Every structure is written in C-alpha cells, then in structure tokens.
C-alpha cells in the first residue's frame, strides 16, 4: 500500500529498555504512529531525527531508502537491535511521534511545541554522558550514551526516558508558565507529570504488562486463580519486579522513578515533610498516587472478569485489562491539563482538573469507578481536590459564580480569536472577579473535540489567560500582602495570576479555573520564593527550566538526572 493510502503505520520499538528481557532477549513492541512521507533521518512533519554527536563532532548516517517500511518487525534475535544506529533512530522517532499523537488524541486537537517552529529536533546520540534532556533553546530532545558494565548504554533506547523528555516538551507547549518559580507543588509538577505520562505509556503496551506479570505468573499458566490477583501482588510483584529490571542500566540517567514511586507506601504526611519539598522527591508523591490508582483500576477491571467465570481469570485478559487501565488513566491525565489553572498549579488543582475533565466526557463512571479510585488513592497520599464541591461527584470544579454577559461577543470568533476572548474577559471582568489592575493577556484559544470511552463526543473551546503585576517589595503591603522579614524594599517581584476558560458547544462559559493574583492567595508563593532564594535571582534566570532542574540536581545523591 502506498503511504498516502494508509492513515497510520506500525513501527517496532523496544518495549522498555534493553534490560527488560524475555528469554534473554530485549523485549520489543509495536506502536502506531500517524503515517507520513518521511525524509532521510527519519524526518517528518513534527519530529526530525538529526543524528549529530557533539562529543565526537560527527553525524551518523541514516537509512537512505524505503523509509516508510519497518525493517525490524521480522527480527527474531532482538539483541541485534542494540547495536544498530538505524534502529535507534527509528526508536526515538516512533516514541516521540506516538506521545505527540496521544496528546492530540486525548485533547482532541493539534498540539504545538512551546517554541515557534513545527518540528522538534531529536538527537539520539547527542553526547557521551549519562544524561538526556529537553532543550527549549535548541528546540530539541537530546539523548546521551555512556559506558555500562557490558558495553555502551543508550538513553535513546529507553522507552520511558524518551516519553519523559517528550512530555516535558509537550507540557511546556501547553502550559508555558509552569516553569515559573511558584510553589513546591509547581516545581515538582513538571517532573511528576512527565514520569506519570512516561510510566503509563510503558504500561499501556501489552508486551510490557505481559512480561511484568510473568515475574509472578509464568506465561505457561493460561489462567490465574482470581484470589491471587490482589492490589498487593500487582504492586509488589508486578510493578516493583519490573522496576528492578527497568532501572538496571539506566539509573544514572533516570534514577529509579518506578521503584521509588511504586514503593512509596501511602501517607498523608509526605507533603509537609522537609524531604519532600525538593521538587524531584515531591514529584514522586504524584507518581505514587497515579501508579497506585493504576493498580486499583486494574484490579477493578479484573473484578469484572471474575464475575464472568468465578475462580479463575484468563492470563491474556489480565494483561489486556492492565494495558487498558493504563491507557485510560493516561488519556485522563493528559485531558486534565485543559482544566488546570494556567499559573501556580498545585497537586490539588490537578486532581480537580482530572476529575472534572473526565466527568465532562464520561459522565457515567459506574462500571469501573475510576473517579472514586482517584479520589481515594490520592487522598491516601494527602492530595485533596482543590475544589471543595460536595455531592455525587465531589472535588469537581464548580460552575462560574456569576453568569457572564455575552452581548457583543461573536460566537464564531470566540472559538479562535484571542482578541475576541479578551474583549469577553474585559467586559466581564467584574462578573469573572478578575483583578482589574494587572496586565492581562490571552495566551491561547483552542477549539477541541473529545471522544469519551463510550463514543460520546464533547465539543469545547479552551481559552487561557495570564495576569502579571510587577512591583517592588515595599508595595506588597499596599496590596494587602505581608512583606517577608529582611526582604529589601527595592526588590522587584513578579506576581502571576490567570485561568482557563472552558466554553461549551454553544459558546457558554462552563468553567473558569483560575488562581488569583490578589491577596491572600499569593502570600504562600511570596513566602516560599523568598525563603528558597528564587526572588533574589534575576527574573530571566528565575524563569528558566534550569531553576527547577538545578534544585533537583542538589536534591540528593541519587536525584541527579537531567542537567540543563
Ligand atoms: Zn525531567
């Protein structure tokens, strides 16, 4: 078939990394990406593999012909793939494209990178170092390689490392203010969210779930006694068992994201502990809450099978349900971004966003009770929804306090034009309870079409705005804030507020999800930034990703991962 006729293409990738093996061979999987006509690289319309090695100052050759074919689907000795640079190039291209496609499918629209251009550069052998990172100035994902115990180790071959870095790039495009210094939660959010997407992407691949289940129930057993499929077995046997294999080669690049998070037993006290103020450690709490929700969701899907045939469950179905639960939670996680505030995000905001976005697209949750599971498991880690609405669906965002006025707004341009949305905001500034003084800007207006698990379609328009107020330390009191002791009166301070406006298919405002700029909401942020030293840096410095990652690098012996 010609490429123009097929809409998608399946490509062979390593299912996790070379250390996850079955019968002594690395485990491969197939992922589906949008079909496109590729240039040598492979280079496509959103992702361009440029195999330049800055440590050796050379380019590695790429496959020159038959670019639309997957030559690795028939390889039986998968050990051969580890040393094949052309396979490395296909592996990164396919994983980055599939993460992008997943974001676009979940959000129901095209998703941009945060920099101006359409194409993200990906360098699979960028330098000789145990590191991998997203570089906004280079518009690139850079993957390093290093010497391991038994030959070179390539970070571009680790599915979760590639998905993690792709997620940083995508999240930065969707919520560009999340890299601002703000609160311990926001500093941790980029890392935690990237790990959640990476790990759920790995578990959404059936061969990985299959291999992990193998550790407890070898694949010769066609059915498993249902009382053995407990949350404890799935977490301690399956997830932690896989974590042991996964971290083995890549821990210098990656640490032990899965092991640290899956092994973190529930406690509502972590969030207040000193140790968990460090962004990377704090991110683990979010990942732990999501991984344990995944285990609980998996168990509840298995419960359904048990009703079909009491006593035993078919092994294949257990695998299928695990991959399906990961897939569903991953889609929910990505969708939550549109319902999260544009600035100063907290874990509680994210949970309310997660619940609300799901209610809108899947109102009926009585089959597997995903939302109850999330509420219960997140609460066991001390994460409560930011919204305090009660009732049948607690924790979802409340509708706007006052009905806005639509006179003068045009339905058509409200779906795409930032000026039109700004006019709406300006004319409704009192009804929306906006702070009138700061500089206000509409960042984006995005029409979306989401399809629920039951095929139900929801059309919405998401508009994001931010508010910025630049002032000096001495002005804080005038605005109702407390000036921290020892803060110089001349110190420049940036305050940020903002929100996400969610319009329904008739152009009516459904939700206004925001974090206010005014007192008292920002007092905690001012205190935190002053104490952590972020306010004393120049504004430019403070606004860079590096700030987060430098903190992470100082966080402890095993916390160094990405240097920026
Ligand atoms: Zn990261």
What are the beta bridge partners of residue 143? 132
Let me know: does 72 contact 89? Beta carbons within 8 Å: no
Q: What is the pLDDT of residues 444-502, one digit of tens each?
A: 999 999 988 778 889 999 999 999 988 898 989 888 899 988 889 899 888 889 999 99
Per DSSP, helices labelled H in 315-388 are 315-335, 347-361, 370-380
Let me know: does 547 contact 534? Beta carbons within 8 Å: yes
481 phi, psi to nearest 5 deg = -95, 165
Alpha carbon of 115 to ligand 1 centroid (Å): 18
What is the spatial distance between Cα 498 and Cα 444, in angstroms, rounded to a whole number?
A: 12
What is the spatial distance between Cα 266 and Cα 244, in angstroms, rounded to a whole number?
A: 21
Alpha carbon of 18 to ligand 1 centroid (Å): 21
Classify residue 457 as exposed, middle or buried by CB count within 10 Å of its CB (0-12, 13-18, 19+): exposed
Give the residue extent of every domain in the chain.
3-174, 184-380, 411-519
Alpha carbon of 132 to ligand 1 centroid (Å): 9
Let me know: does 306 contact 349? Beta carbons within 8 Å: no
The crossing angle, in degrees rounded to 10, of helices 347-361 and 279-308 is 30
What per-residue confidence (pLDDT) applies to 518?
A: 78
Alpha carbon of 447 to ligand 1 centroid (Å): 29
Let me know: does 468 contact 496? Beta carbons within 8 Å: yes
Let me know: does 175 contact 193? Beta carbons within 8 Å: no
What per-residue confidence (pLDDT) applies to 247?
A: 66
CA contacts within 13 A on the Cβ side of 337: 28
Alpha carbon of 457 to ligand 1 centroid (Å): 33
User: Beta-carbon neighbour count of residue 5 at 10 Å?
Assistant: 7
Query: Is the pLDDT higher at 322 or at 213?
Result: 322
What is the spatial distance between Cα 312 and Cα 322, in angstroms, rounded to a whole number?
A: 16
Beta strands in 177-316 (DSSP E): 223-225, 312-314
With the C-alpha atoms ordered 268, 274, 279, 284, is the resulting torsion angle positive or negative? negative
CB neighbour list of residue 104: distance below 8 Å, 6 or more residues apart:
110, 111
Stretch among 104-108, 357-361, 486-490, 555-559 having the lowest mean pLDDT? 555-559
Alpha carbon of 164 to ligand 1 centroid (Å): 6
Q: What is the pLDDT of residues 174-184, one digit of tens each?
A: 999 998 888 88
Let me know: does 179 contact 190? Beta carbons within 8 Å: yes
Q: What is the DSSP string of 65-86?
A: S-TTS-TTTT-S-GGGGGG-HH
Q: What is the DSSP string of 267-286?
A: -TTGGGSGGGGSHHHHHHHH
Whether domain 3-174 has CATH 3.30.500: the reply is: no
Stretch among 81-95, 118-132, 200-214, 541-555 having the lowest mean pLDDT? 541-555
Alpha carbon of 193 to ligand 1 centroid (Å): 9
Alpha carbon of 282 to ligand 1 centroid (Å): 13
Let me know: does 142 contact 68? Beta carbons within 8 Å: no
Alpha carbon of 280 to ligand 1 centroid (Å): 9
Over residues 213-222, mean pLDDT: 78
Residue 3 has pLDDT above 70, yes or no: no
Let me know: does 53 contact 234? Beta carbons within 8 Å: no
Alpha carbon of 436 to ligand 1 centroid (Å): 36
Alpha carbon of 90 to ligand 1 centroid (Å): 22
């Amino acid at each position: 078939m010609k490429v123009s006729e097929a809409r998608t293409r399946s490509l062979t990738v390593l299912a996790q990394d070379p250390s996850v093996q079955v019968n002594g061979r690395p485990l491969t999987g197939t992922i589906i990406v949008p079909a496109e006509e590729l240039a040598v690289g492979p280079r496509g319309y959103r992702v361009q593999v440029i195999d330049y090695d800055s440590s050796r100052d050379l380019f590695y050759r790429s496959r020159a012909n038959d670019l639309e074919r997957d030559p690795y689907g028939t390889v039986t000795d998968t050990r051969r793939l580890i040393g094949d640079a052309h396979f490395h190039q296909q592996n990164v291209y396919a994983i980055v494209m599939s993460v992008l496609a997943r974001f676009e499918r979940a959000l129901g629209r095209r998703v941009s990178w945060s920099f101006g251009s359409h194409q993200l550069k990906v360098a699979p052998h960028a330098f000789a170092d145990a590191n991998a990172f997203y570089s906004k100035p280079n518009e690139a994902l850079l993957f390093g390689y290093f010497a391991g115990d038994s030959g070179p180790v390539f970070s571009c071959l680790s599915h979760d490392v590639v998905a993690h870095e792709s997620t940083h790039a995508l999240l930065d495009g969707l919520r560009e203010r999340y890299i601002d210094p703000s609160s311990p939660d926001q500093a941790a959010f980029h890392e935690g969210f990237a790990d959640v997407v990476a790990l759920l992407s790995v578990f959404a691949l059936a061969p990985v779930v299959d291999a992990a289940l193998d550790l407890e129930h070898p694949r010769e057993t066609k059915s498993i006694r249902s009382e053995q499929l407990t949350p404890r077995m799935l977490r301690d046997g399956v997830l932690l068992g896989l974590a042991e294999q996964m971290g083995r080669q890549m821990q210098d690049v990656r640490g032990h994201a899965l092991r640290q998070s899956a092994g973190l037993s529930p406690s509502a006290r972590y969030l207040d502990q000193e140790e968990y103020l460090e962004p990377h450690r704090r991110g683990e709490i979010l990942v732990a809450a999501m991984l344990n929700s995944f285990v609980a969701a998996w168990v509840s899907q298995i419960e359904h099978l048990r009703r079909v045939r009491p006593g035993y469950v078919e092994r294949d179905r257990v695998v299928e349900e695990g991959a399906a639960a990961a897939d569903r939670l991953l889609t929910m996680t990505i969708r939550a971004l549109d319902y999260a505030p544009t600035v100063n995000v907290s874990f509680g905001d994210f949970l309310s966003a997660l619940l609300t976005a799901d209610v809108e697209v899947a109102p009926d949750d009585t089959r597997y009770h995903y939302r109850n599971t999330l509420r219960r498991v997140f609460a066991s880690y001390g994460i409560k929804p930011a919204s305090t609405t009660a009732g049948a669906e607690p924790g979802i965002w409340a509708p706007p306090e006052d009905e806005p006025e639509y006179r003068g707004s045009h339905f058509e341009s409200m779906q795409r034009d930032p000026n039109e949305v700004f006019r709406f905001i300006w004319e409704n500034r009192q009804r929306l309870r906006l702070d009138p003084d700061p500089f206000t800007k509409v960042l984006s207006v995005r029409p979306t079409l989401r399809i629920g698990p039951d095929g139900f379609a929801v059309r919405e328009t998401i508009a994001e705005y931010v508010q910025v107020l630049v002032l000096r330390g001495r002005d804080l009191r005038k605005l109702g804030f407390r000036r921290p002791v020892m803060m110089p009166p001349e110190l420049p301070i940036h305050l940020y507020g903002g929100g996400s406006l969610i319009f329904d298919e008739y152009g009516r405002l459904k939700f206004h999800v925001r974090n206010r700029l005014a007192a008292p909401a920002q007092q905690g942020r001012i205190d935190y930034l002053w104490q952590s030293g972020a306010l004393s840096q120049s504004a430019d410095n403070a606004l860079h990703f590096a700030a987060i990652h430098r903190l992470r690098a100082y966080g402890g012996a095993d916390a160094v991962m990405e240097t920026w």
